[in-house]
């Protein structure tokens, strides 16, 4: 009898833990946001540039952000950004040590549409993020930085836009909220914890049912 009560208690505890995991799965999957819609989320400030319509805008020859010495606890720094003018020489220097030439190093050519520029900062040996300098464009060009965040995933968080002739009629008729949701940059997602939690909950339920059946049989 004592063994039965102990088993029931352990099973209930496992189920409770799994439910908590399921409820907090979005927290586990979240990335570290540094700038969101042009606003710093914790520490940091704009040294050269200004907030305009939800983005940080600054001159192409020198736009500088202080990232507040954010700890590099994820491999990739994502920067949702765009630029005007000739962007072939676009360059980002992080913490005055790590230089990324967007075209030659990353294969990224900035346009006047937002792109997710992904910098492998951890691979370069960065431990904290201090200054971020956006440079080497003509002074009449403008850098626009919307979001900055660290992530475990190197994949772009912006949905690719399909050519107009390839869009199926059904996709054109999709609800407006779905289209808006697809355009919003994601900040990391994972279904692994949710699946584990669901398996744990189902397994706990099966154990409790079988235990009741065993008691009735006695």
Residues 70 and 178 in one domain: yes
Residues 153 and 59 in one domain: yes
**Is the overall model pTM greater than 0.75, yes or no?**
no
**Domain CATH code at residue 121:** 2.60.120.430
Residues 105 and 50 in one domain: yes
Residue 71 pLDDT exceeds 80? yes
Say what the pLDDT of residue 26 is: 37
Residues 84 and 8 in one domain: no
In this prediction, residue 31 has a pLDDT band, given cuts at 50, 70 and 90, of: confident
Residues 77 and 42 in one domain: yes
Say what the pLDDT of residue 119 is: 98
CA 83 – CA 19 distance, rounded (Å): 45
Residues 160 and 108 in one domain: yes
Residues 156 and 119 in one domain: yes
Residues 54 and 115 in one domain: yes
CA 27 – CA 193 distance, rounded (Å): 11
Residues 43 and 150 in one domain: yes
Residue 98 pLDDT exceeds 50? yes
Residues 137 and 199 in one domain: no
- Quote the domain boundaries for residue 105: 31-183
The whole-number average pLDDT for the span 97-101 is 97
Residues 16 and 57 in one domain: no
Residue 162 pLDDT exceeds 50? no
Say what the pLDDT of residue 184 is: 39
Tally of domains in the chain: 2
Residue 107 vs residue 166, higher pLDDT: 107
Residues 98 and 69 in one domain: yes
The whole-number average pLDDT for the span 108-119 is 98
125 sits in the region (left: phi over 0; alpha: psi -120 to 50; else beta) called left
Whole-number average pLDDT of the chain: 78
In this prediction, residue 14 has a pLDDT band, given cuts at 50, 70 and 90, of: low
Residues 6+ apart with CB under 8 A from 36: 147, 149
């Amino acid at each position: 009898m004592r063994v039965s009560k102990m088993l029931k208690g352990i099973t209930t505890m496992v189920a409770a833990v799994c439910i908590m995991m399921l409820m907090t799965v979005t927290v586990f999957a979240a990335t570290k946001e540094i700038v969101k819609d042009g606003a710093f989320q914790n520490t940091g400030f704009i040294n050269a540039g200004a907030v305009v319509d939800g983005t940080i805008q600054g001159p192409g020859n020198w736009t500088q952000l202080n990232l507040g010495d954010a700890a590099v606890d994820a491999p990739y720094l994502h920067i949702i950004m765009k630029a005007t003018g000739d962007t072939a020489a676009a360059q980002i220097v992080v913490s005055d040590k790590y230089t990324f030439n967007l075209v030659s190093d990353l294969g990224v050519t900035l346009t006047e549409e937002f792109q997710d520029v992904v910098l492998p900062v951890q691979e370069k040996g960065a431990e904290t993020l201090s200054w971020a300098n956006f440079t080497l464009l003509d002074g009449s060009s403008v850098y626009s930085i919307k979001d900055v965040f660290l992530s475990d995933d190197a994949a772009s968080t912006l949905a690719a836009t399909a050519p107009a002739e390839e869009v199926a009629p059904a996709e054109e008729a999709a609800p407006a909220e779905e289209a808006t949701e697809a355009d919003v940059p994601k900040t990391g997602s994972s279904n692994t914890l949710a699946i584990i939690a669901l398996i744990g909950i189902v397994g706990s339920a099966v154990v409790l049912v079988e235990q009741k059946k065993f008691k009735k049989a006695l």
